[in-house]
């Protein structure tokens, strides 16, 4: 399936119209159907389409969307990797399956300074004052997610007291402090 969308929000809207109405996440390294509340075996998952959206080839920031069919259950849904972290979250087998035929689209336009309505923080700004930014996990005051789902984590600028979008290279930086909300699971720094 060809995903011909200019950005992630457009791709999600198009796929929802095509019947991809289940929400998938990665749990304990495996694909999990949140809508049906059950795991999906890698052998039952078929990737119907995938797309990577990057700000620019060297910006260090990307998001991925996967249109997946569960052949055993007969359902279809979306796996949205807004933080480009699947390589750290899922099994190698599933990661290779998801990314086998994933094209990349670069957006050199309006989203350079912000992403999904949040100010984008690039690595150079973070490197200038790494203590200024934290990664909040599971907070109830996150802004709305443009995909109709919910954010599980977001960057926070402690100087401006506002949520920000941290590029992927910052999320992988061991200096980034992770702050869970009342017992939320904390992703590894690695």
CA torsion sign for 69, 72, 75, 81 is negative
Kindly report, residue by residue over 9-54, the tens digit of the pLDDT.
Answer: 888 889 999 999 999 999 988 999 999 999 999 899 999 999 888 8
pLDDT score at 72: 96
Rounded distance, CA 20 to CA 39, Å? 17
- pTM, 2 dp: 0.69
Kindly report, residue by residue over 57-78, the tens digit of the pLDDT.
Answer: 666 677 889 999 999 999 999 9
pLDDT score at 38: 96
Question: How far from 64 is each of 14, 72, 88, 125, CA to CA, in Å?
Answer: 15, 24, 14, 24
* pLDDT over 90, % of the chain: 43
Name the band, by pLDDT with cuts 50, 70 and 90, for residue 109: very low
Q: What is the signed CA dihedral for 105, 109, 115, 117, rounded to 10 degrees?
A: -140
What's the whole-number average pLDDT of the chain? 85
């Amino acid at each position: 399936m060809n995903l011909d969308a200019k950005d992630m929000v457009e791709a999600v809207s198009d796929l929802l119209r095509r019947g991809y109405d289940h929400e998938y996440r990665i749990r304990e390294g495996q694909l999990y159907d949140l809508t049906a509340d059950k795991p999906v075996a890698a052998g039952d998952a078929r990737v119907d389409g995938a797309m990577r959206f990057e700000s620019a080839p060297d910006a260090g920031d990307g998001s991925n969307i996967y249109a997946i069919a569960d052949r055993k259950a007969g359902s279809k849904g979306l796996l949205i990797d807004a933080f480009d972290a699947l390589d750290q979250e899922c099994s190698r087998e599933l990661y290779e399956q998801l990314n086998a035929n994933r094209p990349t689209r670069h957006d050199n336009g309006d989203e350079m300074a912000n992403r999904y309505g949040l100010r984008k923080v690039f690595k150079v700004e973070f490197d200038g004052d790494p203590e200024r930014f934290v990664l909040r996990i599971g907070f109830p005051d996150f802004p709305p997610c443009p995909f109709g789902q919910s954010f599980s984590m977001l960057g926070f600028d402690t100087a401006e007291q506002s949520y920000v979008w941290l590029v992927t290279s910052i999320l992988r930086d061991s200096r980034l402090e992770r702050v869970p909300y009342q017992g939320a699971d904390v992703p590894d720094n690695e």
